């Protein structure tokens, strides 16, 4: 019995050593991609795979390198068998699905993402990629549903907000376009997509208030949260009677936040975005935040304002970089 036990311990130790050595090879190769290039890195992986055949981590590295090299068919042929292995993680589904999407096989990409979601139902990244594949295949209605599920699964992943803000702008839903757009730029503040969505938010505020009946449809037929938001905005829409511009939107949005928190609505419908705006208002950073939010609508006007308000910009920037925006999974409202 003692001999059997010792053999078992030895085999376990050997397996652990084997895994650690393969992991060390993987780390060394992937850490040096920039110096060695894709081809040499793949050659190094092949050498390691001769020593550690069928090692999941090394094979996944090979998928990554082929994906980055845009050898999508190779990434698929290597990666697809890995999807059925018990070690299959979220990343391998994204890589294989993304490889199918890159060669415009969106139906197969969707199948991979669905399979991944079945294993990782809380992966907002898989939902985001799945929605994009559906959208590329022309099924925008189902894409909206998938993106929304992604927000419910994990509200702190930016991609689902990005896609929904754009889709709702296309489908005459300006209220949710501006809400999701603003949430997106607070989660992803420094990318090319940020500028795109900031411009979209400004234009969707115009659609919400300048086109007759748009705000009222949420008041009359919207879900409870939508009604509450639209009704609060409606109390102060006269602020925009002289035209919709950054300054008038700042005044409107400031009154909205004051009203929201003076009423019981903030208790009935807690919402982290509005909490953040209230904090900015209290700290004196609200104007700078809104100038930043709407800056893409008029670069010259924003630059002129920023030149005269350098201290305000610095104060807001310090807050924005250091106070992380974290939407709550309990604050998802039907619409």
33-77 pLDDT, tens digit each: 665 666 777 777 777 778 888 889 889 988 999 999 999 999 999
Number of domains in the chain: 1
Q: How many CB atoms lie within 10 A of CB 319?
A: 16
Q: What gap in Å lies between CA 51 and CA 38, rounded to an integer?
A: 20
The parts of the chain modelled with pLDDT lower than 50 are 1-3, 5-6, 8-15, 17-19
Q: What gap in Å lies between CA 171 and CA 99, rounded to an integer?
A: 29
Query: For residue range 157-183, what is the model confidence (pLDDT) as tens digits?
Result: 999 999 999 999 999 999 999 999 999
Token readout for 245 is 């511009």
Q: What gap in Å lies between CA 115 and CA 86, rounded to an integer?
A: 13
Q: Does 85 fall in a domain?
A: yes
Q: Does 334 fall in a domain?
A: no
Q: Does 333 fall in a domain?
A: no
Q: What gap in Å lies between CA 20 and CA 18, rounded to an integer?
A: 6
Q: Does 120 fall in a domain?
A: yes
Q: What is the 3-state secondary structure (H, E, C) of the chain?
A: CHHHHHHHHHHHHHHHHHHHHHHHHHHHHHHCHHHHHHHHHHHHHHHHHHHCCCCHHHHHHHHHHHHHCCCHHHHHHHHHHHHHCCCCCHHHHHHHHHHHHHCCCHHHHHHHHHHHHHHCCCCHHHHHHHHHHHHHCCCHHHHHHHHHHHHHHCCCCCHHHHHHHHHHHHCCCHHHHHHHHHHHHHHCCCCHHHHHHHHHHHHHHHHHHHCCCHHHHHHHHCCHHHHHHHHHHHCCHHHHCCCCCHHHHHHHHHHHHHHHHHCCHHHHCCCHHHHHHHHHHHHCCHHHHHHHHCHHHCHHHHHHHHHHCHHHHHHHHHHHHHCCCCCCCCCCCCC
Q: Does 283 fall in a domain?
A: no
Q: Does 70 fall in a domain?
A: yes
Q: Indicate which CATH number applies to the domain containing 38.
A: 1.25.40.10
pLDDT for residue 188: 96
Q: How many CB atoms lie within 10 A of CB 279?
A: 15
Range of the domain at 40: 29-154
Q: Does 115 fall in a domain?
A: yes
Q: What is the pTM of this model?
A: 0.90
Q: Are 76 and 99 in contact (CB under 8 A)?
A: yes
Q: Does 231 fall in a domain?
A: no
């Amino acid at each position: 019995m003692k001999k059997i036990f010792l053999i078992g311990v030895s085999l376990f130790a050997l397996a652990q050593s084997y895994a650690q050595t393969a992991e060390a090879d993987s780390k060394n190769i992937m850490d040096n991609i920039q110096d060695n290039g894709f081809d040499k890195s793949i050659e190094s992986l092949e050498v390691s795979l001769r020593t550690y055949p069928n090692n999941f981590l090394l094979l996944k590295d090979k998928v990554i390198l082929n994906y980055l090299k845009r050898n999508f068919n190779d990434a698929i042929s290597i990666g697809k068998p890995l999807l059925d292995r018990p070690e299959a993680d979220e990343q391998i589904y994204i890589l294989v699905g993304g490889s199918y999407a890159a060669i415009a096989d969106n139906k197969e990409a969707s199948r991979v993402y669905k399979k991944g979601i079945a294993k990782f139902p809380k992966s907002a990244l898989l939902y985001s990629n799945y929605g994009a594949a559906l959208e590329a295949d022309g099924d925008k209605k189902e894409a909206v549903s998938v993106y929304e599920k992604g927000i419910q699964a994990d509200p702190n992943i930016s991609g689902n907000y990005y896609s929904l803000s754009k889709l709702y702008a296309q489908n005459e839903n300006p209220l949710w376009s501006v809400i999701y757009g603003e949430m997106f730029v607070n989660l992803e503040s420094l990318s090319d997509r940020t500028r795109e969505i900031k411009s979209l938010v400004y234009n969707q505020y115009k659609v919400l208030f300048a086109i007759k009946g748009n705000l009222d449809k949420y008041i009359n037929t919207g879900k409870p949260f939508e009604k509450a938001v639209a009704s609060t905005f409606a109390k102060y829409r006269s602020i925009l009677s002289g035209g919709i511009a950054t300054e008038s939107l700042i005044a409107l949005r400031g009154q909205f936040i004051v009203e929201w928190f003076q009423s019981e609505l903030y208790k009935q419908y807690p919402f982290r975005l509005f909490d953040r705006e209230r904090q900015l208002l209290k700290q004196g950073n609200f104007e700078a935040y809104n100038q930043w939010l709407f800056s893409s609508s008029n670069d010259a006007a924003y630059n002129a304002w920023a030149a005269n308000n350098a201290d305000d910009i610095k104060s807001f920037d310090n807050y924005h970089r250091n106070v992380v925006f974290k939407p709550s999974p309990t604050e998802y409202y039907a619409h």
